[in-house]
A = this chain, B = another copy of it.
Amino acid sequence: MSNSSRIAVDAMGGDKGLDVMLAGVAAARRRFDGMQFLLVGDEAQIRAGLEAHPNLTQHSEIVHAPEVVGGAEKPSQAIRRAKTTSMGVAIDMVKQGRAGAAVSCGNTGALMAMAKLALRMLPGIDRPALAALLPTLGENDVVVLDLGANTEVDARNLVQFAVMGAAYARTTLDLGRPRVALLNIGSEDQKGTEEIRDAAAALRAADHLPLDFTGFIEGDQLARGNVDVIVCDGFSGNIALKTAEGTARFVADLLKRAFSSSVRSKIGFLISKPATELLRDHLDPNNHNGAVFLGLNGLVVKSHGGANERGVATAIGAAAKMVRDDLTRRISEDLGNFEAKAA
Contacts and interface: CB of A to CB of B under 8 A. Distances in A.
A235 B274 contact: no
A314 interface: no
Given A151-B193, A185-B151, A246-B224, A254 B271 contact: no
Contacts of A244: 219, 243-244, 246-247
Given A219-B243, A220-B242, A223-B247, A185 B234 contact: yes
B253 A137 contact: yes
Interface of A: 71-72, 74, 136-137, 148, 151-152, 183, 185, 188, 190, 192-193, 218-224, 232, 234-236, 238-255, 258-259, 261-262, 264-265, 267-276, 278-279, 282-283
22 contacts: A72-B188, A74-B190, A137-B253, A137-B254, A218-B242, A220-B249, A223-B246, A224-B246, A224-B250, A235-B236, A243-B243, A247-B247, A251-B279, A255-B275, A255-B276, A258-B276, A258-B278, A259-B272, A259-B275, A261-B278, A265-B274, A269-B272
A252 B151 CA distance: 32
Contacts of A264: 271-272, 274
Contacts of A268: 268-273, 275
Copies of this protein, total: 2
Contact of A219 (B183, B242, B270): B242
Contacts of A151: 185, 192-193
A222 B240 contact: no
Contacts of A272: 258-259, 264-265, 267-269, 271-272
